A and B are shown apart, each in its own frame.
Chain A
Amino acid sequence: MPPRQQTDALRGSLDLLVLKTLSLAPMHGWGISQRVQQLSKGTLEVNQGSLYPALQRLEKDGLITSEWGTTDNNRRARYYRLTAAGRRALGTELESWRRFAAGLETVLRTS
């Protein structure tokens, strides 16, 4: 069994990416993965298969909600949107991520 902490870190960053993306506009799953790739200018690629479990987890935690809608091409798709709790969580997650990144940066800079 792989060490647990690593997955948690990965999951944490994926959650953050999803929340951030959804804070811009409600979107379906494939749209989220495309938007992340687009916003990161191709440097970040969401593992498409892990996206849906993450969405489910976030929905269970009440950070996002979903409903069925239709795409521009008139296809049925499940659209996810941020809840108020999700917006708050995004704020704190962002804050802690920035602290974490800064800390990491500081450590890495030390030679």
Chain B
Amino acid sequence: MDQEIGLHIDLESERLVREEGLDLQEARRRALVAFGGVERYKEELRDGRGLAWLGGLSLDFKLGVRMAAKYPGLSLVSVLGMAAAIAVGALVFGWAAAMLDPALPLDGGDRIIAVQTDRADAPGDVDQRVLHDFVVWRTALTTVRDLGAFRLSDRNLIVEGGGDDGVTDVVAVAEMSAAGFRVGRVRPLKGRPLVDDDERMGGAPVLVIGEREWRRYFGGDPNVIGRTVRLGGTVHTVVGVMPDDFRFPRNHGFWIPLRLDASDYPIGAGPPIQVFGRLADGVTFEQARAQVAAIGRRMAAEYPETHEYRRPTIVPFARTAEPTASGPELTWLLYMIQLGASLLLVVIAANVAALVYARTAARTAEIAVRTALGASRARVITQLFVEALVLSAAAAAVGLSLAGLALGWIDQLLMQKGPGLPFWFHLGLSPGMIVYVAGLALLGGTVVGVAPALKATGRRAYGNLQQFAARGSAMKLGRTWTALIIGQVAITVAVLPVSVHYASALLRTSIRDSAYPAGEFLRARIALDRDEAPPRADSAEAAAYQRRFEAHFASRADVLLKRLGSEPGVDAAFVSDFPGGELQRRFEIEGVQAGRNAAGGAGGEKATVRATHSLATVGFFRLFDAPVVAGRGFVDADTVAGSTAVIVDTAFAARIPGGNVLGRRIRSVEPRRVRAGNDEAPAPWLEIVGVVADPPSTTTDPDDIALPNVYRAAAPSGLGRDDAQATSILLRLRVRNGLTPAFTQRLRDMVAATDPGFQLHDVRTDAEVLRSGARELRTFALALAFATLSVLLLSAAGIYAMLSFTVAQRRREIGIRIALGADSRRIVSSVFKRASTQLGAGIAVGLIVALALDRATGGMLMGHLSADTVGLRGAFAVIPIVAAIMMAVGLLAAIGPARRGLAVEPTEALREE
């Protein structure tokens, strides 16, 4: 367009030079005049293309950016506030998307399925003893190709040869049908995948490894094919290396053939397996489901005893493992959290809207002029909306980047934490998330821009035109805004103590933990490989096998403990290892009723003390140099089953009223049973035989750290008694002259030498545990501080904007009052009266809410901490500080305009009227 018009001007001026003898400059001027304003026609041309609205919109955007730059403080606060909310929303979205919409990152991964057998008699249960069904499906299920099965176990990996003198580690192994490799459609990096022939009983033990494992355990040896490694007791030959794209079925890098013969087991029995396959071309889920259900009905008719309640079905493979195997409840929960996160933005945006409203109110004159010049209401609202959209779009960009970084970080952290997560669980940015964030930006822009715009362009806008010259803004601040400010202050006052309390509790915890020589301590979980062929499903035989296995485990553990103890400078002990760490219990103290114990409940209930309950071998206290301050330590006799000896720490002793602790009896009670009146079979009474000074706690949960401890002694074989929940035992080691990596290796060697079937899991020093715990705490405390600070910042900004606006509005009134001889002190006090009323009301409401919250959640949300420590009560001390900050901000906001008001010349003020 420019070129065309340029040519026209050129040709015309040349004609003028040629025909009228003008000089080139004059000719050009005349040509431009004749054309009649190039820009106007360019615009007309643009209009002709139907892009007029774009021109207007891009102008609005320009104005919006300019407006944002003109009020940097307001823009910064709005963008940061909304960015935080959008980041939270995007984080939740990313998490929910990974949970709810998992996709296998394999070729045609959405058609890879699992054949899952639900139990009609136990909804939610999946029956995995389907070896015989699997055999039937393999021939009868024509809608699914490459049907295969797998089962998972942990094995000791021992790599010999190479430069090293052997690597020992516990690895996750998949025993899998060769079909698993066909289903993934991934070509091996080296060698071959497993093939059907490998599944033959008695075939040579072969192994396929993953790329990661190849680099880690074999140093990327190019001649790895043909090398041998030991898995548990069996030597396997490596026949292939799979690239990192292939981690099927969960997150595996060791695959051995699945060798099971259904004829070894009765119908409906056998080892648990999981069955997978790929939908045949052109077959839908429904068709496959219908076929497998029909087969299921046939088998139920044929074998009613075992198959009556089995309901085989087809599910997407990605739905078969946690955390993506979500039920409808979790889906709802995630949607609710998502909704909550989105609402957070609305709340923050409403705040920003209040700020923007003050700015918009100051622009009523501009809006009135624009309206008078023919701008429609929609046009003005669009402009204000676009201005807000500039802010919310910037916030969206910041929020999305933050969320992307955070998700990437979490993703990496989860990967580091071990192979627990399936390979398809991935957190990160996704197109869906970008759409969601764009939607949030629109939502934020709407709340921030449209609400003030509607108010500013209401019917009064025309009246404003008459008035603005004489009276300034005629916009009034409604009750809504007053309510908003009061609510704001109230929320700040109510929320701050709780978050300050939590943040300080977290920080105290991490400080307290650093007190003992954590560098000398080491912990590891010990389990024993179950490498033997599983017995037939005959129950007596299985029980005998289990007993044999446990006895073997205990005797080997005993040997290991003695060996470790004979090492110079090394103390070792076993502790019971419960899922999720130590076990919390409530203990009833014999002869103590409620009312005499600070920690007890009300009414006629038994007073109880919550404590951490641990089973440990005799040497446990020696490990920590924990002195026995009363009574005695553990002796071997205490480890006998049926012994009632128990040792408590000084924290527990302090809760026993009456002072005399030795010989008192306690017993564990379930919290439920305390309420129910304790009529079920009670736990046996235990006698306190000793008190130890508090051994250090290595838990990082602030709720657990303050708990007293109760210890019982056990032999390694007894660590699983009393609670069948103990799945493995925890080895605690102390090396007096400090831990070295060499010692860790020596430990592995000693463990392997004691029994090659021993598995060492999660070998970590206490220092590492504390460090990572402290890091988590710090991150959490930081996030809390950030959230708290943004609440404070936003409410401070809101109060500032509102007050400075109201005072500015009264500037003329103040001037007139001064002209009429009013006392300036009275004027100042009248200015501050409204501010203080609103602030005071906010603080009062906040206080009430905070107290109500404390009352309502005293025993639940805050846990025992609020009762045991001054924590929350102490945190209420911050309320006056918050109130003072709010007041200071409010006064600061009022001072400037008030001073300007006082400085107005009375004559000027009167003239304006």
Contact = CB atoms under 8 A, between A and B. Distances in A.
A76 B3 contact: yes
B45 A29 contact: no
B8 A29 contact: yes
A52 interface: yes
A100 interface: no
Interface string B550-580: 0000000000000000000000000000000
A53 B11 contact: no
Nearest to B14: A73
Interface string B19-39: 000000000000000111110
A18 B354 CA distance: 57
A75 B45 contact: no
A20 interface: no
B7 A28 contact: yes
Given A53-B41, A53-B44, A53-B48, A48 B3 contact: no
A32 to B, nearest CB: 10
Contact of B48 (A30, A47, A56, A75): A56
A98 interface: no
Contacts of B520: none
Interface string A19-51: 000000000111000100000000000011110
A55 B694 CA distance: 93
Contacts of B913: none
Contacts of B41: 49-50, 52-53
B749 interface: no
A4 interface: no
Given A53-B41, A53-B45, A75 B35 contact: no
Contacts of A30: 7-8, 11-12
A52 B4 contact: yes
Contacts of B12: 30, 48
A34 B1 CA distance: 20
Contact of A49 (B1, B4, B40): B40
Contacts of B44: 53
Contacts of A29: 4, 7-8
Contacts of B45: 52-53, 56
Contacts of A99: none
Contacts of B5: 52
A77 interface: yes
A69 B103 CA distance: 54
Contacts of A57: 48
B35 A60 contact: no
B254 to A, nearest CB: 66
A69 B200 CA distance: 78
A88 interface: no
B202 to A, nearest CB: 80
Contacts of A53: 41, 44-45, 48
Interface residues of A, number: 17
Contacts of B49: 56
Nearest to B4: A78
Contacts of A34: 15
Contacts of A52: 1, 4-5, 8, 41, 45
B243 to A, nearest CB: 52
B7 A75 contact: yes
Interface residues of B, number: 21
B4 A48 contact: no
Contacts of A77: 4, 7
Most buried by A among B36, B48, B49: B48
A42 B40 CA distance: 26
Most buried by A among B5, B7, B38: B7
Nearest to A29: B8
Contacts of B3: 76, 78
A49 B35 contact: yes
Contacts of B38: 49
B375 to A, nearest CB: 15
A9 to B, nearest CB: 18
A21 B38 CA distance: 24
Interface in B59-75: none
A4 B95 CA distance: 60
A48 B48 contact: no
Contacts of A60: 48
Contacts of B7: 28-30, 75-77
Nearest to B374: A1
A34 to B, nearest CB: 8
Contacts of B4: 28-29, 52, 77-78
B392 to A, nearest CB: 37
A57 B45 CA distance: 9
A53 B44 CA distance: 7
Contacts of A49: 35-38, 40-41
Given A56-B45, A77-B4, A48 B11 contact: no
A67 to B, nearest CB: 12
A50 B15 CA distance: 19
Nearest to A66: B4
A29 B1 CA distance: 12
A47 B36 CA distance: 8
Nearest to A47: B36
Contact of A48 (B10, B35, B40): B35
Nearest to A76: B3
A53 B8 CA distance: 14
A30 B16 CA distance: 13
Contacts of B40: 49
Contacts of B36: 47-50
A56 B41 CA distance: 11
A50 B48 CA distance: 12
Interface in A51-72: 52-53, 56-57, 60
Nearest to A57: B48
A31 to B, nearest CB: 8
Interface of A: 28-30, 34, 47-50, 52-53, 56-57, 60, 75-78
Return the 5 tightest CB-CB contacts between A and B, nearest first: A49-B36, A30-B11, A49-B41, A30-B8, A56-B48
Given A28-B7, A48-B35, A56-B49, 16 more contacts: A30-B8, A30-B11, A34-B15, A48-B8, A48-B12, A49-B36, A49-B38, A49-B40, A52-B1, A52-B41, A52-B45, A53-B41, A53-B48, A56-B48, A75-B7, A77-B4
6 contacts: A47-B36, A49-B40, A49-B41, A52-B45, A75-B7, A78-B4
Interface of B: 1, 3-5, 7-8, 10-12, 15, 34-38, 40-41, 44-45, 48-49
